[in-house]
Structure 1
Amino acid sequence: MRDQPPCSQPPGSPPPEDVLEIVATEQFAPLAHPLRQRLLFALGHRPATASQLAAHLDARKGNVAHHLKVLREAGLVHIAETRQVRGGTEQYYRRTARQMVVAEPQAAGTAAMLAAVAQELDLSPAEPLLTLRHLRLSPAKARELGEALAQLVDGVDGVDGVDEAEEEPEGQPVHGVLVALYQQASPASPTW
């Protein structure tokens, strides 16, 4: 018996959003685990089953299924489609939104995201670019730089970035882009 073609989105499954703002406290804890971050990375381009994700991330299927459940309960992933197969029903998961923005980042979630990125960098077959630079900027210049970085990452037309419509076709390597702009905390008394 061959697999049947995918069904449409299941009833009750939210339609994909362009941007999801993470504001609810029950969404922060699920973001505070590196495997969940990697699952969100992996689900950014197309739906996948727990088995496919486990193979892609070199993780145990049961572990992946547990973390998908946590992400689903937090509203960060949903079942995009189902397929009837010999053994039952396969569920294909997808991120709830193309882009997720954390309104007020918390240390645990940020640490998990950076740990997940560190794992991705470690597994990268190509030499990654990783640079930290500190700049002295006025509030206006910092805001201008932040807007330019957001446009670059979001692929806004007219910006020298990669518009989502201009992405290479399926089969090309997926690249991660991590952008952070933050103001350093001032020391209690300057040491220099």
Structure 2
Amino acid sequence: MEITTPEQFKALGHSFRQRLLFALGQQPATISQLAKILSARKGNVDHHLKVLRDAGLVRIAETRTVRGGTEHYYQRSSRRIRVLSPEATSTAAMLAAFAQELSIAPVEPLLNLRHLRLTAAQAERLRNALEGLVDTAEDAGDGEPRYGVLVSLYQQP
């Protein structure tokens, strides 16, 4: 999914919504499950899910009747969300959400920044290789620890 509308950029402009999208990266979840995962209030989760849903970034995957009530399972509308022309607020929110996850990571994360001089063709090959690496990474399934992967290739000004 490519982010193109003002509503989508606005939805991505809040770090908690970024964290919700991260949490929904593997499997659908209810508001209660998301509140527990993110240590947040259900009302807060509900509000931010509505913004994401209105922007088309999240959808209801399944509905169940539980104890006389209706339980919704939310999931991302797309496995991959791509911001082709990032607005500063969306990028800042994404990095803030990433920083929040790093600050509570139980294991020291790998974080590496390297600057390279590349031709356009080399940069394209590297981009394709990085995307392929992330796309083909296998999920070990329930019961295993979750890991976040952040990959970026950008041209410096």
1:45-64 → structure 2 map (5 Å cutoff): 45-64=26-45
The worse-fitting range, judged by mean Cα deviation, of 27-36 and 143-152 is 143-152
The residue that corresponds to 2:86 in the other structure is 105
Secondary structure of the residue aligned to 1:100 is coil
Name stretches of at least 5 consecutive residues in structure 2 with no aligned partner: none
The one-letter code matched in structure 1 to 2:50 is: K
Aligned-partner Cα distance in 1 for 2:36–2:22: 15
Give the deviation of 1:75 after TM superposition: 0.3
Q: Which of the numbers 22, 34, 50 marks the counterpart of 1:69? A: 50
| 1:122 aligns to 2:103 (yes or no) | yes
1:28-177 → structure 2 map (5 Å cutoff): 28-155=9-136, 162=137, 166-177=138-149
| 1:27 aligns to 2:12 (yes or no) | no
> As a proportion of its length, which structure holds more strand?
1
The one-letter code matched in structure 2 to 1:131 is: N
Give the deviation of 1:73 after TM superposition: 0.3
The residue that corresponds to 2:151 in the other structure is 179
Secondary structure of the residue aligned to 1:99 is coil
* Structure 1 ranges of 4+ moved more than 6 A: none
> As a proportion of its length, which structure holds more helix?
2
Give the deviation of 1:87 after TM superposition: 4.4
The one-letter code matched in structure 2 to 1:173 is: P
Aligned-partner Cα distance in 2 for 1:168–1:26: 34
Aligned-partner Cα distance in 2 for 1:90–1:107: 36
Name stretches of at least 5 consecutive residues in structure 1 with no aligned partner: 1-19, 156-161, 186-192
Secondary structure of the residue aligned to 1:81 is strand
Q: What RMSD in Å do the two structures reach over aligned CA positions?
A: 1.1
Aligned-partner Cα distance in 1 for 2:59–2:69: 19
Q: Indicate the structure (1 or 2) with the bigger Cα radius of gyration.
A: 1
The Cα offsets for residues 8-42 of structure 1, whole Å up to 9 and x where unpaired, read as xxxxxxxxxxxx12122221000011100000011
TM-score, normalised to structure 2's length? 0.95
Aligned-partner Cα distance in 2 for 1:101–1:138: 23
The one-letter code matched in structure 1 to 2:77 is: T
The one-letter code matched in structure 2 to 1:171 is: G
TM-score, normalised to structure 1's length? 0.79
Aligned-partner Cα distance in 2 for 1:78–1:172: 25
Aligned-partner Cα distance in 2 for 1:170–1:24: 34
